Amino acid sequence: MTETITGVGIGLGVAQGPVARMAERAPAPKDAASDRTPEEETARVREAVAAVAAELSRRAETTEGIARDVLEAQAMMAEDPTLEESVDARIAAGKTAEWAVHDAFAEFRATLEAVGGYLGERAADLDDVAARVIAHLRGEPAPGVPSPGHPFVLVAQDLAPADTALLDLDPASPNRVLALVTTEGGPTSHTAILAREKGIVAVVGAAGAADLADGDTVIVDAAAGAVVTSPTADQLADAQRRVDERAAVEAAPCTPGALADGTAVPLLANLGSPKGAAEALELGAEGVGLFRTEFLFLSSKEAPSIEAQRAEYAALLTAFAGRKVVVRVLDAGADKPLPFLNDAEEENPALGLRGIRALRANEQILRDQLTALAQADAETDADLWVMAPMVGTVEEAVYFTGLARELGLKTAGVMVEVPSIALMADRALAHTDFASIGTNDLTQYTMAADRLLGSVATLQDPWHPAVLRLIAQVGEAGAKHGKPVGICGEAAADPLLAVVLVGLGATTLSMAPAALADVRYSLGRYTLDDARRIAAAALDADDAAGARAAARAAAEQPAS
């Protein structure tokens, strides 16, 4: 009988095919005394760790982007000196190498989980390293992705980055991965981040998928966040029609973003490292709408030097010569703590000294970053804009733009992520050159729903008319002052919501590059009048589901 398993969809793709499950991990080792000498056990561990680190580095070399960074980080985790000491101490106490690795890594995992947020999500990366070392010690093959000899939907508990990085996505391959379904992991897990980056159809956190068996036919509908089991012939035909439609959209040429009446809506990329530039350009990014500088320094204990920053920014600006690049200054706090900016223990870090507040409390760090940006700007030809995260007051907007101009940056703006600044946008835009709406945090703060917490995920929906009303106010303020209003949160990557956002006054949209093709196609189907009409329908709803339904109905009416 047809059933629907729900989870969190990543992207908008759809796929269908037979399930192949990821091999279960071998059972954890037991706490046992070793019959080898500690020296023998230590030698075994060193050899296993070196082999695993070498294999992860080899995999890193064959890939690029976030996958490469993650694999490199994993290779470093394997050889981390603190972990090594912790393993050695257990071996010295007479334990087996297998147990020592298992126990020492578990302890480190608990520390990461206690920190929560981004670091907490990295716990799965650490588990994978431990499983690989233990498999090596036991002489067993490393845990990994199956090769059933036909295209398949991969079902796993959660995917290790080492596996995600090497998924076979080649359409001609007999072992092609059609889609991913995980029973664990949220929208910020590595599986989700990498699926988004590579444009893989994925549904994560689908607990019900634990019962799927090898060979079961399923439809994975990321747009609906659903996995349909035992689908009917009609459902399969409909899914295939959508697969074909998307293939046609992806194959379409990368023209600049525009509405059907020719209104330009530049489509920009969200990036966290200059390494993503080439792929973004290939997918038709017209520039960068959000460069998340904190991603470069998440593992730094000390503030980065001006020179280290200048080099990164110059690489980015060189890749986008002649194009607009919006760089966000360090956004530290809550889900992205930076040890050199967030040192205080806070009860509610999402409401604490974060973003521009943390930078202001450490003004030299902000000055250094703006100086590095000005230096990189002077030696390259891109059109550099800078903006501050988590701005909550007009006074903060005045402070940031003033400092940026003092340090030689010609275009300075603010992110609109806090409802207070959305409500005050007409005043803030009098002082800034532009605004860029971060819908992820704007939704979190408008709905009082932690963006990382699964139990309140249904409230974390940018379609909510409360969020749309705030965006409309910012759009109106932009029009009044004749200043650009960009969108750089995930909402811009939703093709129909993108039309609504333009109807509310957004002038550019920035997103993960994999989403560009769908959004380009969607914008091209509507005029500005249509977009305004669809937006008005969405605004006139009670909740997110109502707004979506109203927008869909309005979008189906004939084009004006």
Query: Rounded to a whole number, what is the distance in angstroms from the first to the last CA of the chain?
Result: 43
| Residue 439 contact among ligand PEP, Mg ion, none, beta carbon within 5 to 8 Å by kind | ligand PEP
- What span, in angstroms and rounded, lies between the C-alpha atoms of 535 and 547? 9
Long-range contacts of range 393-396, CB-CB < 8 Å, 24 or more positions apart?
393/420, 393/421, 393/424, 394/421, 394/424, 394/427, 394/428, 394/431, 396/356, 396/357, 396/360
Give the pairing of strands 434-437 and 412-416: parallel
Using alpha carbons only, give the angle 299, 317, 396 rounded to the nearest 5 degrees. Answer: 65
Q: Which amino acid is at 183?
A: T
Interface characters, 174-203, with ligand PEP (x: CB under 6 A): ------------------------------
Interface characters, 431-470, with Mg ion (x: CB under 5 A): -------x--x-----------------------------
Interface characters, 17-36, with ligand PEP (x: CB under 6 A): --------------------
The backbone torsions φ and ψ at residue 420, rounded to the nearest 5 degrees and listed phi first, read -60, -40
Per-residue tokens: 529? 């009048």
- What span, in angstroms and rounded, lies between the C-alpha atoms of 177 and 206? 18
| Residue nearest Mg ion by beta-carbon distance | 441
Q: Identify the residue among 440, 446, 460, 522 touching ligand PEP (CB under 6 A).
A: 440
Look up 190 and say whether it is catalytic. Answer: yes
For residues 279-308, which are near ligand PEP according to CB under 6 A? 290, 292
Q: Catalytic: which of 102, 136, 464, 488?
A: 488
Q: Given the complex with ligand PEP, which of 118 and 340 has the nearer CB atom? A: 118
Site size for ligand PEP (CB under 6 A):
10
Question: What's the min distance (Å) between Cβ of 436 and ligand PEP?
Answer: 8
Q: Check: CB of residue 108 under 8 Å from CB of residue 126.
A: yes
Q: Sign of the C-alpha dihedral, residues 427, 433, 439, 441?
A: negative
| Residue 488 contact among ligand PEP, Mg ion, none, beta carbon within 5 to 8 Å by kind | ligand PEP
Question: What's the min distance (Å) between Cβ of 375 and ligand PEP?
Answer: 24
Q: Does 494 bind ligand PEP (CB under 6 A)?
A: no
The backbone torsions φ and ψ at residue 74, rounded to the nearest 5 degrees and listed phi first, read -65, -40
Question: What's the min distance (Å) between Cβ of 489 and ligand PEP?
Answer: 3
- What span, in angstroms and rounded, lies between the C-alpha atoms of 512 and 283? 10
| Residue 292 contact among ligand PEP, Mg ion, none, beta carbon within 5 to 8 Å by kind | ligand PEP
Q: Check: CB of residue 71 under 8 Å from CB of residue 55.
A: no
The backbone torsions φ and ψ at residue 207, rounded to the nearest 5 degrees and listed phi first, read -55, -35
Q: Does 488 bind ligand PEP (CB under 6 A)?
A: yes
Question: What's the min distance (Å) between Cβ of 439 and ligand PEP?
Answer: 5
Interface characters, 398-417, with ligand PEP (x: CB under 6 A): -------------------x
| Residue 489 contact among Mg ion, ligand PEP, none, beta carbon within 5 to 8 Å by kind | ligand PEP
Q: Identify the residue among 11, 475, 478, 489 touching ligand PEP (CB under 6 A).
A: 489
Interface characters, 390-419, with Mg ion (x: CB under 5 A): ---------------------------x--
Site size for Mg ion (CB under 5 A):
3
Q: Which amino acid is at 88?
A: D
Q: Check: CB of residue 339 under 8 Å from CB of residue 375.
A: no
- What span, in angstroms and rounded, lies between the C-alpha atoms of 195 and 192? 5
Look up 488 and say whether it is catalytic. Answer: yes
Q: Identify the residue among 441, 461, 518, 530 touching ligand PEP (CB under 6 A).
A: 441
- What span, in angstroms and rounded, lies between the C-alpha atoms of 506 and 464? 17
| Number of helices and strands in the chain (H, E) | 22, 16
| CA-only gyration radius of the chain, Å | 24
Q: Which amino acid is at 342?
A: N
What's the DSSP call for residue 90? H
- What span, in angstroms and rounded, lies between the C-alpha atoms of 487 and 435? 9
Q: Given the complex with Mg ion, which of 63 and 460 has the nearer CB atom? A: 460
Question: What's the min distance (Å) between Cβ of 124 and Mg ion?
Answer: 23
Structural element, H or E, at residue 379: none
Q: Does 439 bind ligand PEP (CB under 6 A)?
A: yes
Q: Does 438 bind ligand PEP (CB under 6 A)?
A: yes
Question: What's the min distance (Å) between Cβ of 389 and ligand PEP?
Answer: 7
Q: Given the complex with Mg ion, which of 161 and 438 has the nearer CB atom? A: 438
Q: Which amino acid is at 222?
A: A
Interface characters, 331-370, with ligand PEP (x: CB under 6 A): x---------------------------------------
Q: Catalytic: which of 102, 136, 190, 481?
A: 190
| Closest by Cα among 94, 160, 115 to 133 | 160
Q: Given the complex with Mg ion, which of 42 and 293 has the nearer CB atom? A: 293
- What span, in angstroms and rounded, lies between the C-alpha atoms of 103 and 92? 14
Q: Given the complex with ligand PEP, which of 417 and 494 has the nearer CB atom? A: 417
Question: What's the min distance (Å) between Cβ of 167 and ligand PEP?
Answer: 25
Residues contributing to the site for ligand PEP (CB under 6 A):
290, 292, 331, 417, 438-441, 488-489
Residues contributing to the site for Mg ion (CB under 5 A):
417, 438, 441
Active-site annotation, residues: 190, 488
